[in-house]
Amino acid sequence: MSGVKPSLMPVEQALEALLKLAENAPIQDVESVLIDEAEGRVLAEPLVATLDLPPWPNSAMDGYAVRQQDLNGEPLRVSQKIFAGTQPEPLEPGSCARIFTGAPMPENADSVEMQEHVEVLGDGRVRFLEAVRLEQHVRPQGGEARQGDEVLAAGVRLGPIELGLAASLGVPRLTVSRKIKVALLSTGDELVDPGATLNPGQIYNSNRVLLRHWLQRLGCEVIDAGIVPDDLNKVRACLTGLGEADLILSTGGVSVGEADFLGQVLREEGELNLWKLAIKPGKPLTYGSYRGVAVIGLPGNPASTLVTFGLLARAYLLRRMGVSEVEPLSAQVPAGFSWTKAGNRREYLRARLEGGRAVLYYNQSSSILRSAAWADGLVELPEHTCLEEGDPVRFIPFSELLG
């Protein structure tokens, strides 16, 4: 095959350029939100522990708290019972304390023996059946975090785990970046929304629904600008009303040969870059601005929209929100297929994992969204590459891209 034509931009170059543009236009406003409402938001300031975690040493087991120097082979009497949530007395010398998981260690005690390894004698005394190591089964104060530790960095996306951690530190509110406002529009004379009658020549608008939900999952505020006909004045009028947005995201109308109304408006009243990407499905992508508002125009075929949004626009949006980790986790898996048509664009094939191998949907047409509904993710096939079954391929799960 011939090399990548100079006019085709490699995917990583486009990604790098978009990330740089995003870093030059960060969302700087922050807000304080309750942790119960912070899921999916981006932490704008590091989360610093204001206490030791745990705040005091406590038992990791149901058992008996002892002091090493009292262990001389003789049974010990039980001088107190310590439940979680209570405040113990100092341990009396020559005794042990009954203790339960999560209960504070009594002063003077330094180790815990689990209840399975003791014998409780008829008179209530406890015989230790095994050697007790110093500090065994004791969770030390500050073992998880020390007061002053940075527990979460700025730029972390807050999911259930991060929020659970914040809660363990007693934090009721977090400072997060404000949501990025994305105006979403679908261009195309042929489009109608579900619920309307389908007249001859028309198709239902799937991209609007696909992207709307996806944007919301990414923590964006969506301004739904609906369907815009392929008409210069209507495109201009639509863009004019979107000055509030941080990004205008449009689909359709960027194919080669098509009357490119979005591009025309951007050229006249803003800025326009038309990229031809070495990506399949995909290829044409518009990046520009309209009256100071950033604009990304994705190709309209649903699988192209999915791939270019998932691999490029998603990362751009997250980076603008201040997210540091924007690269989806992926894994090398054996191909459950062979590939003989090496191309000059990097291909993203809708694939499923079956028995640990990536198998392809039988129809990889860019117009087909059903392929993605069937699939678990995308197999990345580098440019100029043929594959034999069993060769390793990069697999990017949709779960990584969608959230």
Residue 371 is a binding residue for ligand AMP (CB under 6 A): no
Instruction: Please count the residues of this chain forming the interface with Mg ion, following the rule CB under 5 A.
Output: 3
With vertex at residue 127, the alpha carbon angle to CA 125 and CA 132, rounded to the nearest 5 degrees, is 130
CA pair distance 245, 223, nearest whole angstrom: 8
Nearer to Mg ion, 222 or 228 (CB): 228
Residue 252 is a binding residue for Mg ion (CB under 5 A): yes
Question: What region does 322 belong to: left with phi over 0, alpha with psi -120 to 50, or beta?
Answer: left
Q: Contact, 376 vs 402, CB < 8 A?
A: no
Residue 365 is a binding residue for ligand AMP (CB under 6 A): no
Q: Which stretch binds Mg ion (CB under 5 A): 50-58, 187-195, 263-271, 278-286?
A: 187-195
Q: How far is the CB of 5 from ligand AMP (least distance, A)?
A: 21
Quick one: which of 69, 147, 240, 255 contacts ligand AMP (CB under 6 A)? Answer: 255
Nearer to ligand AMP, 76 or 298 (CB): 298
Question: What are the helix and strand counts (H, E) for the chain?
Answer: 9, 27
Q: Which stretch binds ligand AMP (CB under 6 A): 70-78, 199-207, 217-225, 318-326?
A: 199-207
Nearer to ligand AMP, 203 or 237 (CB): 203
Quick one: which of 191, 247, 307, 396 contacts ligand AMP (CB under 6 A)? Answer: 191
With vertex at residue 257, the alpha carbon angle to CA 251 and CA 261, rounded to the nearest 5 degrees, is 50
Quick one: which of 82, 152, 176, 254 contacts ligand AMP (CB under 6 A)? Answer: 254
- Pair of tokens at residue 126: 């406890």
Q: DSSP of 281-319, one letter per residue?
A: S--EEEEEEETTEEEEEE-SSHHHHHHHIIIIIHHHHHH
E runs forming strands in 195-330: 203-204, 221-228, 247-251, 270-277, 279-280, 284-290, 293-298
CA pair distance 247, 313, nearest whole angstrom: 10
All residues at 6 or more sequence positions from 297 whose CB lies less than 8 Å from its CB, including other chains: 250, 251, 253, 254, 262, 263, 285, 286, 287, 288
Residue 302 is a binding residue for Mg ion (CB under 5 A): no
State the binding partner of 322 from Mg ion, ligand AMP, none, CB within 5 to 8 A by kind. Answer: none
Q: Contact, 215 vs 246, CB < 8 A?
A: no
Quick one: which of 188, 263, 288, 328 contacts Mg ion (CB under 5 A)? Answer: 188
In the chain, the amino acid numbered 239 is L
Nearer to ligand AMP, 208 or 320 (CB): 208
Residue of 393, 325, 272 whose CA lies nearest to 159 = 325
Residue 188 is a binding residue for ligand AMP (CB under 6 A): yes
* Eight-state DSSP code of residue 268: H
Q: Which stretch binds Mg ion (CB under 5 A): 46-54, 196-204, 247-255, 363-371?
A: 247-255
Quick one: which of 203, 237, 373, 386 contacts ligand AMP (CB under 6 A)? Answer: 203
Q: How far is the CB of 22 from ligand AMP (least distance, A)?
A: 24
Q: DSSP of 82-140, one letter per residue?
A: E-TTS-PPPPPTTEEEEE-TTPBPPTT--EEEEGGGEEE-TTS-EEE-S---TTTTEE-
In the chain, the amino acid numbered 177 is S
- Footprint on residues 93-112 left by ligand AMP (CB under 6 A): none
Residue 231 is a binding residue for ligand AMP (CB under 6 A): no
- Footprint on residues 288-327 left by ligand AMP (CB under 6 A): 299-302
Quick one: which of 63, 252, 282, 322 contacts ligand AMP (CB under 6 A)? Answer: 252
Beta strands 221-228 and 284-290 are unpaired
Q: How far is the CB of 336 from ligand AMP (least distance, A)?
A: 29
Q: How far is the CB of 258 from Mg ion (least distance, A)?
A: 6
Q: Which stretch binds ligand AMP (CB under 6 A): 82-90, 103-111, 201-209, 347-355?
A: 201-209
User: What does the binding site for Mg ion look like in residue numbers (CB under 5 A)?
Assistant: 188, 252-253
Residues found near ligand AMP in the complex (CB under 6 A):
186, 188, 190-191, 203, 205-208, 251-255, 258, 299-302, 367
